Amino acid sequence: MAEHPIDCELCSGDGGEVLHRAEKFRVVLVDDAAYPGFCRVIWNNHVKEMTDLPIADRSALMAAVCKVESIVRAVMQPEKINLASLGNMTPHLHWHVIPRYLDDAQFPSPVWAAAERQTPPSSLAQRQALLGALRSAMVAQF
């Protein structure tokens, strides 16, 4: 497998607004109107599974995921954090860090399930208003 396959969208692009760029990974803000504050931690090299990484790299990646979780919790004040590494469509290692709320579209189901409701626009606006603080916190704390 080439290190950067030409047809991989996480090799050819950043995959979102970059909040922090490290040597081996980057943290991006996902553009999802239903989930303000949804971040991803994306490994820079094209690797498929966590266990394809050397152990030191797994640790570095999970430390980054946990740092993002901490920052998202502090700024976004979610009911729950959801973490996931799936990659069925884009088999390039990336972690979803998703702030969840009692009134969000899918709660308590995963965000990939059918919507149970529409999130109240006032809740979404409140969360959107925190994104500036989220960007600042990522810069300050990474």
Where do contacts with a second copy occur on this chain (CB under 8 A)?
A: 48-51, 55, 58-59, 62, 65-66, 69-70, 73, 79-89, 91, 100, 107-110, 112-114
Question: CB of 52: closest distance to a second copy in angstroms?
Answer: 10
- Which of 86, 129 has the CB closer to a second copy? 86
Question: CB of 51: closest distance to a second copy in angstroms?
Answer: 5
**CA-to-CA distance for 68 and 90, rounded, in angstroms?**
21
Taking alpha carbons only, the member of 3, 15, 2 closest to residue 89 is: 15
* 77 contact partners, CB below 8 Å, separation of at least 6: none
Question: CB of 102: closest distance to a second copy in angstroms?
Answer: 9
3-state secondary structure of 90: coil
